[in-house]
Structure 1
Amino acid sequence: MTKQTNLLEVDWSQIPAPQDDGAAAHLVGMTVPPISLRATNDTAVVLSELRGRTVVFAYPRTGEPGKISLVDDWDMIPGARGCTPQTCAFRDLFAELKAAGAKQVFGLSTQSNAYQTEMASRLHLPFPVLSDEALELTEALRLPVMEVAELTLIKRMALVIDDAKITQLFYPVFPPDRNAGDVLEWLKSNPV
């Protein structure tokens, strides 16, 4: 197995797919708790206060070009690889997601707001990314996580939230670059 170093061009046939471990089954129907998260547009976002339909896609951590992975076998951890392709797919389909009823779109990870702000600028994201570095939302919703290099990382998923209630879950997500398209199709089939 050769290590795939390009963050965007990934041969998904060489990456292990995550299995549905049931760790997110409780989420549909839950009300999002009133937790404030720092966003890359320098605002505080409380998902439970947002009206209308919100899409939140969560991922373990986006990579930094030219930097080494957290661990040597990052690509072989099911569900770890693909955060940048997932994020870029939501970027590329942002206007269509909005047209299909998503009033807001957010990325979510446990990375620091400072790192996320650099990444959002580098990838030209039209939506904010939320930092749950303190794991408040992750723990309150009991989001599925993975422990890698002594860090707690959210497993890849997407949530559709309508007026603070989680109405749809995409989990597990594979390949990551198709997640935005799957969410878009669901939004079109389930108008507000």
Structure 2
Amino acid sequence: MSHLQPPSVDWSTLPAPIDDGAAAHLVGRALPDVTLPATDGSSVRLSEIGGTAVLYLYPMTATPGIALPSDWDAIPGARGCTPQSCAFRDHFDELREAGAQAVFGISMQDPAEQREAQARLHLPFPLLSDADGALAQALALPTFEAGGRRLHKRLTMIARDGVVATVFYPIFPPDRNAGDVVAWLRANPA
């Protein structure tokens, strides 16, 4: 199957995010009792995810025909959601072979926007919607405002039996995150 390739991005032209410590409290935390709608029509109760799960959080994927906020490229770490999601798609088999039983992409976009992105990008895993910010609030996740919307800052958590084992934050460039996750899983087998 032919996959959509993300646009080529010159990461050197974009501001890199800094580690502001906003995710330092996450390792060792249990995934909260929050249920998020998934693009496959199901609902995922995070506290019930067992085994090894990869949860990558991102601000928002672009929706065809809808402009991103005018200052999007000036916000450190904002650009790159499509390349990051495509990288998780392209590394999906490696993630599974390295021990990930589940992979989820999570943003504050509504389920309809996420269904469009999942279909357009041919993602082999569901995207979850935290549109009401329940996950962000439960874990005190780092967020930012852009275009009148509250959005997740980009971070990836690997959970083992419902407990956060490691966090990647900040993530830059985002298209390398999936490979970094594969490397961590291989170096830290369950």
Q: TM-score, normalised by structure 1?
A: 0.94
- Give the corresponding residue for 1:8: 7
Secondary structure in 1 matching 2:117 = helix
In structure 2, what residue type is equivalent to 1:139? Answer: Q
CA distance in 1, matches of 2:6, 2:141: 25
Q: Deviations over 1:161-192 (max 9, x none)?
A: 11110001000000000000000000000001
Q: 2:175 aligns with which of 164, 174, 177?
A: 177
Q: Deviations over 1:72-114 (max 9, x none)?
A: 2210100100000000000000010001000000000000001
1:53 is aligned to 2:63: no
- Aligned-residue Cα RMSD (Å) equals 1.1
Secondary structure in 2 matching 1:139 = helix
Q: Deviations over 1:133-157 (max 9, x none)?
A: 0100110000000111221100001
The gaps in structure 1 that reach 5 residues or longer are 1-5
In structure 2, what residue type is equivalent to 1:89? Answer: A
- Give the corresponding residue for 1:44: 43
1:124 is aligned to 2:115: no
- Give the corresponding residue for 1:3: none
In structure 1, what residue type is equivalent to 2:68? Answer: S
CA distance in 2, matches of 1:139, 1:69: 24
CA distance in 2, matches of 1:7, 1:91: 11
Secondary structure in 1 matching 2:24 = coil
- Give the corresponding residue for 2:100: 102
CA distance in 1, matches of 2:172, 2:17: 7
Secondary structure in 2 matching 1:180 = helix
In structure 1, what residue type is equivalent to 2:37? Answer: R
CA distance in 2, matches of 1:151, 1:67: 14
Displacement of 1:66 in angstroms is 4.4
Q: Deviations over 1:18-75 (max 9, x none)?
A: 00000000000001111110000100001210110000000000012343212x2210
Judge conservation of contact 1:96–1:184 (CA < 8 Å) in 2: yes
Displacement of 1:9 in angstroms is 1.0
- Give the corresponding residue for 2:158: 160
1:35 is aligned to 2:26: no
Judge conservation of contact 1:7–1:65 (CA < 8 Å) in 2: no
- Give the corresponding residue for 1:24: 23
Judge conservation of contact 1:7–1:82 (CA < 8 Å) in 2: no
In structure 1, what residue type is equivalent to 2:118? Answer: A
The aligned length equals 186
In structure 2, what residue type is equivalent to 1:51? Answer: G
In structure 1, what residue type is equivalent to 2:179? Answer: G
CA distance in 2, matches of 1:78, 1:37: 27
CA distance in 2, matches of 1:69, 1:136: 24
Judge conservation of contact 2:6–2:86 (CA < 8 Å) in 1: no
